[in-house]
Amino acid sequence: MSELRVAVVLYAGMTTLDAAGPIDVLRFLPDAVLDLVSDAPGPVRTDSGLELVATTAYDDCPRPDVVVVPGGPGTAEALGSPLIGWLQQVHPTTRWTTSVCSGSLLLAHAGLLAGAPAASHFGVLDLLPQLGSARSDQRVVVDEEHHVMTAAGVSSGIDMALALAERLSDTTTAQAIQLVIEYDPQPPHDTGALEKASPDVVRRAVELGRPQGAIPEFWEPPAR
Amino acid sequence: MSELRVAVVLYAGMTTLDAAGPIDVLRFLPDAVLDLVSDAPGPVRTDSGLELVATTAYDDCPRPDVVVVPGGPGTAEALGSPLIGWLQQVHPTTRWTTSVCSGSLLLAHAGLLAGAPAASHFGVLDLLPQLGSARSDQRVVVDEEHHVMTAAGVSSGIDMALALAERLSDTTTAQAIQLVIEYDPQPPHDTGALEKASPDVVRRAVELGRPQGAIPEFWEPPAR
């Protein structure tokens, strides 16, 4: 069997969990080979301060089968980086080009979404139309036509990666990976989406998330 | 306000997602300061090949408020490492000492569980009694008496970290963090626990997980 080259993009100010979810799902796919791609090999500082080490420069990863683009406060700066040109170059031959969180802004800016709706973190969802895409409130958006998959904020990358694993292999394999990582979610509360959180919780989320760039300055809670 | 020192342990052969879940939850706690501790500062290779960079040697982290010990196939080797002595040294003054996945074997081996039941990955749960603890099938076990919290496999670290965030702050804060990371799980299937997976799925999980050390050689599916 031939390799399945999975390229996970790393850039300064990204969020670790956006990448870690897909990595620890997709690596169990048969014949998966992981490349951690960035401007150059070496450590990349995430928004928590944790550094992840890139193995491969964009130029040395010309034909990935799967691309995963994480999000995070670093997305704004990444919009002007060599990542965009690389995405444009490799996307035509990927099986799936995917994003988590604000990573979909990078796919949109690269012109890969072709006006189709995409998911993103709720804090930046309204930027998608300005980048030639459209907003979707779904947790995972599968766009078969453009072989693009986008996910909502941070933790949704796990759900996306399981959907992706199923399409790259089969249902039993995806279910087996879910078991290996014991993904049987039991959050203590049910406030993980904007429409499920009380105004107090939303206010507190802004207080905690804004200083770390997880919720942008311009974002205002929707009136209700 | 004083700092909340959160020490996340890194060791060779650990699983990235075990640490990434708690990191991207706990960092939003007010005054949280993250230390990535290991034998020495520098890159640590996880079981996916991704390297995470430790910032702090165990010796330079004598008084963490919170300790997070991830799991992974590297746990076996970590049982004989300086991590164990450090856990014994720092645990008496932590607010919470926690583990994800097979990380609970390290807490047990360090003598921190004092015979109390703990969670772990299903593949190693039966080892806990041999290490002076007891097995729990719960996803998250909160042991207030010993200020220890343990979680089941890999992804359960997110659930644990939210429960921990609530105890370290308040309910609204924990709910707000859940919103910031959009943890509104929607897995495509419901096979993330052993009792929910069909025999075919369990067999496939062993096929995929065993070569990567995610399911140990000695583990056999329970009869049913």
Whether B222 and chain A come into contact, CB under 8 Å, resolves to: no
- Domain range summary for chain B, segments of one domain joined by +: 4-180, 186-224
pTM of the model: 0.97
Whether A28 and chain B come into contact, CB under 8 Å, resolves to: yes
State how far residue A15 is from chain B, nearest Cα, in angstroms. Answer: 8
ipTM above 0.95, yes or no: yes
- Mean pLDDT, range A180-206, rounded to an integer: 97
CA-based Rg of chain A, rounded to a whole angstrom?
Answer: 17
For chain B, give the DSSP string: ---EEEEEE--TT--HHHHHHHHHHHTTSTTEEEEEEESSSEEEE-TTS-EEEE-EEGGG----SEEEE--STTHHHHTTSHHHHHHHHHGGG-SEEEE-TTHHHHHHHTT-STT-EE---TTTGGGTGGGT-EE--SSEEEETTTTEEEE-STTHHHHHHHHHHHHHS-HHHHHHHHHHTT-----SSS--SGGGS-HHHHHHHHHHHTTTTSS-TT--PPP-
Which tens digit of pLDDT belongs to each residue from A7-65?
Answer: 999 999 999 999 999 999 999 999 999 999 999 999 999 999 999 999 999 999 999 99
Partners of residue B16 in chain A, C-beta under 8 Å: 16, 20, 23-24
Cβ separation A163–B207 shorter than 8 A: no
A192 three-state secondary structure: coil
Cβ separation A194–B179 shorter than 8 A: yes
Cβ separation B50–A30 shorter than 8 A: no
Can you tell me the distance from the alpha carbon of B212 to that of B197, in angstroms, rounded to the nearest whole number?
20
Identify the pLDDT of residue B223: 80
Can you tell me the distance from the alpha carbon of A11 to that of A78, in angstroms, rounded to the nearest whole number?
7
Cβ separation B176–A121 shorter than 8 A: no
Can you tell me the distance from the alpha carbon of B207 to that of B224, in angstroms, rounded to the nearest whole number?
19
Catalogue the active-site residues of B.
101
**How many inter-chain contacts (A to B, CB under 8 Å) are there?**
254
Identify the pLDDT of residue B30: 95
Cβ separation A189–B180 shorter than 8 A: no
Whether A171 and chain B come into contact, CB under 8 Å, resolves to: yes
Q: Are B114 and A141 in contact (CB under 8 A)?
A: no
Whether B58 and chain A come into contact, CB under 8 Å, resolves to: no
Can you tell me the distance from the alpha carbon of A75 to that of A131, in angstroms, rounded to the nearest whole number?
13
Partners of residue B21 in chain A, C-beta under 8 Å: 17, 20, 155
Can you tell me the distance from the alpha carbon of B25 to that of A172, in angstroms, rounded to the nearest whole number?
31
Which tens digit of pLDDT belongs to each residue from B200-222?
Answer: 999 999 999 999 999 999 999 98
Supply the CATH classification number for the domain B4-180. 3.40.50.880
Identify the pLDDT of residue B1: 55
Catalogue the active-site residues of A.
101
Cβ separation B23–A50 shorter than 8 A: yes
Can you tell me the distance from the alpha carbon of A159 to that of A178, in angstroms, rounded to the nearest whole number?
9
Cβ separation B177–A15 shorter than 8 A: no
Identify the pLDDT of residue A52: 98
Can you tell me the distance from the alpha carbon of B176 to that of B166, in angstroms, rounded to the nearest whole number?
10
Whether B216 and chain A come into contact, CB under 8 Å, resolves to: no
Instruction: Choose among A55, A180, A192: nearest Cβ to B182.
Output: A192
Cβ separation A15–B24 shorter than 8 A: yes
Can you tell me the distance from the alpha carbon of A98 to that of B1, in angstroms, rounded to the nearest whole number?
41
Cβ separation B53–A50 shorter than 8 A: yes
Whether A31 and chain B come into contact, CB under 8 Å, resolves to: no
* Single-letter amino acid code for the residue at A81: S
State how far residue A211 is from chain B, nearest Cα, in angstroms. Answer: 9
Whether B118 and chain A come into contact, CB under 8 Å, resolves to: no
Which tens digit of pLDDT belongs to each residue from A194-206?
Answer: 999 999 999 999 9
Partners of residue B155 in chain A, C-beta under 8 Å: 21, 158, 181-183, 185
Partners of residue B215 in chain A, C-beta under 8 Å: 180
Task: Point out the residues of chain B with pLDDT beneath 50.
Answer: none
Q: Are B106 and B78 in contact (CB under 8 A)?
A: yes
**pLDDT of A1 over the 70 cut:** no
Identify the pLDDT of residue B114: 87
Whether A121 and chain B come into contact, CB under 8 Å, resolves to: yes
Partners of residue A213 in chain B, C-beta under 8 Å: none
pLDDT, chain A, mean: 97
